[in-house]
Amino acid sequence: MNIVRMEQVSKRYRQDGLAVDALSEIDLAVAGGEFVALVGPSGSGKTTLLNLIGALDVPSSGRIWIEEREIGRLSRAERSRLRLRRLGFIFQEYNLIPVLSALENVEYVMLLQGVADAERRERAVEMLREVGLAGLEQRRPSQLSGGQQQRVAVARAIVSEPVIVLADEPTANLDSATGAALLDLMRRLNEERGITFVFSTHDPMVIERARRVVRLKDGWIVADHAVSGRTGEAGA
């Protein structure tokens, strides 16, 4: 079943009084369980595309559905609720709350969702163990390495069981060994839990591990192909 479906989606911005076409006539579908890399040079439109899939923005024309909800028909508050309940996000800059512990950062989305205290704590502890951070629950972001902070961000993104996780350049601030280990973790979560991931990336390591690569150039999709037979373990 398709989680995301886009039909003839375009996005136009105004910049210095001029119209800039960030995306043009995009047709794209993402099914449950996929592991997709959106790739292309800077300015190709991949981050804009990720923002549209994440209901952080709406298209200038065309239609987008997340599950069966058409984004363009939702109010700002309804899009906010959709992001909270159904989508997970991993950012290049981690976006952890500095005054909260790793455990509290992972709990935060569930707190907003109204999950009961005991269940919230149990799920957060289990998820930190799942991403290899058992014993570090009470450390604040400043007490963690970059790779550990990004693992906290991964745990936070998936603990509420979203239908899709959107990752914007998640390895950009990590060294190659740490980035490879993080990607192998997400690939394992994809394979074992069926979590759907869509990445915006320049990183060859992400592209190597992807099951599907969507290439953009100047706001257009110029290639979209599935890749079979990858183990995702190179560089681990």
CA distances from 43 to 21, 23, 199, 205, 217 (A): 10, 10, 16, 20, 8
- The answer as to whether 46 is a domain residue is yes
Q: Which helix (H) or strand (E) holds 182?
A: helix 176-193
Cα–Cα distance, 71 to 17 (Å, whole number)? 27
- The answer as to whether 155 is a domain residue is no
Rounded to an integer, the average pLDDT of 96-120 is 96
- The answer as to whether 113 is a domain residue is no
- Could you tell me if 52 and 23 are in contact, meaning their C-beta atoms sit under 8 angstroms apart? yes
What's the token pair of residue 202? 């320049």
**Does residue 177 surpass a pLDDT of 60?**
yes
The mean of the pLDDT values for the chain is 92
- Could you tell me if 133 and 102 are in contact, meaning their C-beta atoms sit under 8 angstroms apart? yes
pLDDT at 234: 35
- The answer as to whether 103 is a domain residue is no
Confidence tier at 172 by pLDDT (50, 70, 90): confident
**Does residue 42 surpass a pLDDT of 70?**
yes
Stronger pLDDT, 104 or 203, i.e. the higher one:
104
Cα–Cα distance, 171 to 88 (Å, whole number)? 17
Number of structural domains the chain divides into: 1
CA distances from 8 to 23, 53, 60 (A): 10, 14, 10
Classify residue 192 as exposed, middle or buried by CB count within 10 Å of its CB (0-12, 13-18, 19+): exposed
Sheet arrangement for strand 18-31: 18-31, 2-15, 61-66, 69-70
SS3 label, residue 91? coil
* Residue pLDDT, tens place only, 70-103: 999 999 999 999 999 999 999 888 899 999 999 9
**Does residue 229 surpass a pLDDT of 70?**
no
**Does residue 236 surpass a pLDDT of 50?**
no
- The answer as to whether 218 is a domain residue is yes
Structural domain harbouring 39: 2-93+164-226
- The answer as to whether 190 is a domain residue is yes
Helices 117-130 and 146-158: crossing angle in degrees, nearest 10, is 130
CA dihedral for 80, 85, 91, 97, sign (positive or negative): positive
Cα–Cα distance, 167 to 37 (Å, whole number)? 9
Read off the CATH number of the domain in which 218 is found: 3.40.50.300
Which residue has 């309804």 as its token pair? 78
pLDDT at 232: 42
DSSP 43: T
What's the token pair of residue 69? 């909800």
pLDDT at 202: 87
**Does residue 228 surpass a pLDDT of 80?**
no
* Residue pLDDT, tens place only, 125-168: 999 999 999 999 999 999 999 999 999 999 999 999 899 999 99
- Could you tell me if 155 and 101 are in contact, meaning their C-beta atoms sit under 8 angstroms apart? no
- The answer as to whether 208 is a domain residue is yes
**Does residue 50 surpass a pLDDT of 70?**
yes
- The answer as to whether 60 is a domain residue is yes
Nearest by Cα to 173 from 96, 227, 230:
96
